[in-house]
Amino acid sequence: MIKIFIFILLYFRFGYADVHVKKIPKNFIFGLGTSSYQIEGAWNTNGKGPSIWDEFVHRVPSPIKNNDTGDIACDSYYRYKEDVLNVYNAGFQFYRFSISWPRILPTGYTNNINEEGIIYYKKLIQEILRYNMTAVVTIYHWELPQQLYKDGVDWTNPKFVDIFVDYTRFIVSRYFKSILTLACENGFA
C-alpha cells in the first residue's frame, strides 16, 4: 500500500500525469523516511538535551491538542532494529532518517558531545546496512537544541551558519564512512 501511495505521489508531483508511463524504470529506487522527533521518543534519556519541540510541547497549558508530545512517539530509540526490519520487509531500498541534533550535541555546540547519542545512530546505520539498504541521513529536521535558541542562535542569527557548519562537520566526521547520502535539511521543499 505504501509503495502505491509513493508512486501516485511521485506520478502527480513531478508532472508524469501527461506521460503514459506503464511501468517504473528498473533503476528507480523506493525508500522510506522518518523524523527523529516524530519517531524516536526517549526525549530526556541517555544524555539527550532538550529541543525547541520538547520545550514547545511541554508548555502549560499545552498548545498541542490532547497534550500530545513526542516523549515516547513510536519508541524507535529502543525499537530501531524492529523498525529497520519492517522497512526492509516492505521492500524499500533506502531508509532516510534525521539525526536529533540535541541527542548527539545536547547544547548544540560541538564542545558538549553525548557519546550515547553517537552510538545510537551508529547502531541504526549499521542495522540499515545489515539489510543492504542505503542509509540516507537528514542532518536537520527542525529539532534545534533548546540551548541554542536560549542563546539567541536560530536560523535568523548569522552566527547560526558557523554553528551549523560545525555540527555538519561533526556529523560527517562521525558517520561519513557508513553513509552514502546526506541531506542538510528537510522541510523547505
Q: Does residue 151 belong to any structural domain of this protein?
A: yes
What global pTM score does this model have?
0.85
Taking each helix axis as running N to C, give the angle between helix 76-89 and helix 115-130, from 0 to 180 degrees, rounded to the nearest 10: 20
Across residues 161-186, what is the average pLDDT? Answer: 86
Q: Does residue 96 belong to any structural domain of this protein?
A: yes
Task: Name the strand (E) or helix (H) holding 31.
Answer: strand 31-33
- Give the rounded distance of the alpha carbon of 172 from its chain centre: 15
Residue 21's pLDDT is 57
Residue 180's pLDDT is 66
Q: Does residue 2 belong to any structural domain of this protein?
A: no
Residue 146's pLDDT is 99
Across residues 116-134, what is the average pLDDT? Answer: 97
Q: Residue 92 is part of a domain; what is its CATH number?
A: 3.20.20.80
Beta bridge partners of 51: 145
What is d(CA 180, CA 175) in angstroms, rounded to the nearest whole number? 10
Q: Which tops the pLDDT comparison, 70 or 13?
A: 70
Q: Which tops the pLDDT comparison, 76 or 180?
A: 76
Question: What would the pLDDT profile of 15-40 be if each residue is shown by its tens digit?
Answer: 555 555 568 888 888 899 999 999 99
Residue 189's pLDDT is 40
Neighbour tally for 106: CB within 10 Å? 20
Mean pLDDT of the chain: 89
Q: Does residue 111 belong to any structural domain of this protein?
A: yes
Across residues 134-158, what is the average pLDDT? Answer: 96
Q: Does residue 57 belong to any structural domain of this protein?
A: yes
Q: Does residue 22 belong to any structural domain of this protein?
A: no
Across residues 131-144, what is the average pLDDT? Answer: 94
Q: In terms of residue numbers, what domain contains 91?
A: 29-185
Question: What would the pLDDT profile of 44-97 be if each residue is shown by its tens digit?
Answer: 999 999 999 999 999 999 999 999 999 999 999 999 999 999 999 999 999 999
- Give the rounded distance of the alpha carbon of 46 from its chain centre: 18
Q: Does residue 6 belong to any structural domain of this protein?
A: no
Q: Does residue 7 belong to any structural domain of this protein?
A: no
Total structural domains within the chain? 1
Question: What would the pLDDT profile of 84-122 be if each residue is shown by its tens digit?
Answer: 999 999 999 999 999 999 999 999 999 999 999 999 999
Q: Which amino acid is residue 176, in one-letter code?
A: F
Residue 16's pLDDT is 53
